[in-house]
């Protein structure tokens, strides 16, 4: 049985607490469906050292929140965690609050032991799900001033930003350094598609900037993705994500470039290849998330652009979806753009999305 010495000051984000009446199934090690959100959940058995007494609890957590090192039904002994420290943990009885925190901390401990097993959850230790950490706001601007203005307006409402080719070309790497210096996570969406040596160099440069995510194009093949993964090893916090099929493409577009497979089939093929070479996750539209989570399992991250609010125009995205649908299907992060950045009140727009995800 694995045993983890936990530093209780570690900042993590909580997930969901057992018992929860609307779960079909609560048996340790089995997948259940949250009847309220439709999300896949799994139950993990925990042996917790509670003021010197070992007690077995079960906690249900989203499948997407468990790194590969923590398997279904795996008993985890968590030591150094005291019941009195968590008397005010929300989410049910005190003992389940303790178990709740313990499973999140166990994920963090596994991540520290094996950096490639990336735990999605992190952030606050206040006992509630930090939905803001799921939301990545795309800074799709052609100048730094506009980007700075939206970041300043959002303030603490947003922790994660996407910087793409347009803004990086216009504003340069200093913008990225500025965001990192403000404590923001940066998703550097480069869609790298070059010879392996050039891709590796770009990934190292991204790591040196302090970004959290960088993208490589899955269509580049095994060699390019493997080079990116190898280059990222010197930067434990950097995750390499493989772009599968851009959200503007359709089956007809794939045919035009000589790909006979459907969009769905091509996404799954490239995602499987990305997983084989060690990518930390993939980029895909909301419409492929459920299939991808079934294929890849609980560990890899799935980041979904093409996310729009209900009744909002899909714009250039051919395969869109709403935030709640994407997350319920298994997305670890969603990317929103104009829904927030072009809103009359960006802060209010962010709060609407967060409320939708938390409902």
The closest of 347, 294, 12 to 158, measured between CA atoms, is: 347
Output the CA torsion 42→69→127→303 (10° steps): -80
Is 162 annotated as a binding-site member? yes
Is 34 annotated as a binding-site member? no
Is 345 annotated as a binding-site member? no
Q: In whole angstroms, what is the distance from residue 322 CA to residue 45 CA?
A: 33
User: Tell me, what DSSP letter sits at residue 180?
Assistant: H
Secondary structure of residue 34 in the 3-state scheme: strand
Provide the H-helix boundaries in 155-241: 165-171, 173-181, 196-209, 222-232
Is 26 annotated as a binding-site member? no
Is 263 annotated as a binding-site member? no
Between helix 144-154 and helix 346-358 the angle, nearest 10°, is: 60
Task: Exactly one of 68, 77, 94, 191 is catalytic; name it.
Answer: 191
| Contact in structure between 57 and 15 (CB atoms under 8 Å) | no
Instruction: At 196, list the tokens.
Output: 């392996």
- Helix (H) / strand (E) element for 40: namely strand 40-50
In the residue annotation, 191 being an active-site residue is answered as yes
Instruction: Tell me which residue has tokens 């093409």.
Output: 306
What residues act catalytically?
191
Provide the annotated binding site.
140, 162, 247, 337-338
Provide the annotated binding site for substrate.
140, 162, 247, 337-338
């Amino acid at each position: 049985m694995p045993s983890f010495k936990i530093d209780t000051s570690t900042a993590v984000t909580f997930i969901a607490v057992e018992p929860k009446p609307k779960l079909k199934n609560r048996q340790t090690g089995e997948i259940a469906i949250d009847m309220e959100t439709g999300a896949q959940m799994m139950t993990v058995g925990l042996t917790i050292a509670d003021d010197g007494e070992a007690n077995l609890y079960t906690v249900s957590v989203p499948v997407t929140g468990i790194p590969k090192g923590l398997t279904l039904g795996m008993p985890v002994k968590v030591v150094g965690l005291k019941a009195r420290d968590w008397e005010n943990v929300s989410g049910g009885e005190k003992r389940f609050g303790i178990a709740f925190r313990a499973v999140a901390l166990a994920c963090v401990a596994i991540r520290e032991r094996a950096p490639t097993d990336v735990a999605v959850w992190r952030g606050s230790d206040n006992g509630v799900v930090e939905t803001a950490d799921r939301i990545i706001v795309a800074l799709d601007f052609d100048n730094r001033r506009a980007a700075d203005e939206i970041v300043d307006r959002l303030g603490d409402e947003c922790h994660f930003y996407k910087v793409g080719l347009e803004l990086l070309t216009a504003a340069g790497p200093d913008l990225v350094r500025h965001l990192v210096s403000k404590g923001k996570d940066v998703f550097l969406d480069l869609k790298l598609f070059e010879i392996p040596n050039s891709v590796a160099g770009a990934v190292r440069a991204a790591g040196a900037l302090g970004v959290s995510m960088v993208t490589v194009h899955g269509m580049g093949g095994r060699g390019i993705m493997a080079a990116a993964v190898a280059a990222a090893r010197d930067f434990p916090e950097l995750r390499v994500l493989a772009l599968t099929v851009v959200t503007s493409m359709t089956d007809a577009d794939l045919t035009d470039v000589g790909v006979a497979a459907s969009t769905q089939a091509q996404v799954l093929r490239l995602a499987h290849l990305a997983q084989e070479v060690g990518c930390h996750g993939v980029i895909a539209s909301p419409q492929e998330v459920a299939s991808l989570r079934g294929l890849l399992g609980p560990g890899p991250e799935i980041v979904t652009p093409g996310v729009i609010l209900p009744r909002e125009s899909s714009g250039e995205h051919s395969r869109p979806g709403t935030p709640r649908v994407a997350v319920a299907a298994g997305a670890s992060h969603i990317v929103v753009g104009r829904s927030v950045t072009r809103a009359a009140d960006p802060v209010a727009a962010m709060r609407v999305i967060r409320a939708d995800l938390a409902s």
